[in-house]
Amino acid sequence: MSLFIDTLKGKRSAETPIWLMRQAGRYLPEYRALRENNSMLQMVQTPELACEVTLQPLRRFPLDAGIIFADILTPLIGMGVNLEFKKGEGPVIDNPIRSVADVSRLRVPKPEENVQYTLDAIKLVVKELNGKTPLIGFSGAPFTLSSYLIEGQSPGDSDLRHTKGLMVSNPEAWHELQEKLVTLSVEYLVAQVEAGCESLQIFDSWLGYVGPREYDRFVEPYLVKIIEQVKARVNVPVVFFATSVSSLFPRLGKLPADAFGVDWRISLPDAAKLIGRPVPLQGNLDPQLLSASWEYVERSARAILEEAATVPAHVFNLGHGVLQYTPVENVQRLIEFVKGYRR
């Protein structure tokens, strides 16, 4: 067993495991070199390229886990969604979901039909890692996937106007869509474990836009279904991660997840109190601060590690993904600092 997996299972040790969301990405020169001649979709959909990108940060840094290079939106393509990653705009869906008829036309393909390229990439990475480092698989949560499907673009550009409109004015369409996304996500997550992943993370990036009453009615039932169904079929730790959800933590704490990711907007001890049960936490350095002077990064990382002494178990991470202008040397020094820190 690895330090990372043991920690997600609630075991404390003197050393803190570390991995970083978006640890494979545009801050690395070797990633940018690959990206020059390949689109985002080409890189995700070519197993050899996805494998190479996944391994890039693991070759550079002594990280405790890798995460497969993919995107939460690519499983939607097989549903009949026209997805494109446009330069300067991010993901764009030119046939967004806005009605019951739109929802009804969505297929729910098997992972082998839909995302075999990611499953093949996982197998390649696992072979290369040869048991030395565990690999994380992931999916988007139904609410966040719905937000992209309905808005047709990055949801933050619209404040989820169409998403919330469909959710509250057409609950029949909403619930049908959620059921389809639950099925899609469960099968995808299970297939990633069967291909070799040793833990899973569910990303709910836009959940912070939802109020508590809407969460209870329109979101929670489907998160519970996904986690329960996955855990009934595969025996790996499941981490739930969302941003800007401090006010929802007492509700999120009831989810059957094994651990929770925490963003930088709340301290780890405060998050632990709100979650209300003794589970491992992952986080939570502000990714913007990773571009500050090393003295400030070190001070911030030390404070997080000291705070983490009061929570059941802790995986060091950022509160979101590594940003593209982050100095590589800061990433290197952060990882070395965390790996060298002892409680």
Enzyme catalytic residues: 22, 26, 35, 71, 148
CA dist., res. 307 & res. 301, Å (int):
10
Q: Residue 5: is it exposed, middle or buried by C-beta count within 10 angstroms (0-12/13-18/19+)? A: middle
Q: Please name every residue paired with 238 in a beta bridge, in sequence order, or none if there are none.
A: 200
- Token pair recorded at residue 208: 């912070």
Contact call for residues 32 and 42 (beta carbons, < 8 A): no
Q: Is the peptide bond before 37 cis (omega within 30 degrees of 0)?
A: no
Looking at this protein, which amino acid is placed at residue 27? Y
Task: Annotate 120-153 with b (16+ C-beta within 10 A) or e (fewer).
Answer: bbbebbbebbeeebbbbbbbbbbbbbbbbbbbbb
Contact call for residues 12 and 281 (beta carbons, < 8 A): no
- List strands edge to edge, sheet with 199-204: 66-67, 135-140, 199-204, 238-242, 259-261, 281-285, 314-318
Residue 65 contacts by C-beta under 8 Å, 6 or more apart in sequence? Answer: 2, 4, 17, 19, 133, 134, 135, 136, 199
Contact call for residues 20 and 12 (beta carbons, < 8 A): no
Structure-token match 């571009």, residue found: 291
- Token pair recorded at residue 9: 């299972």
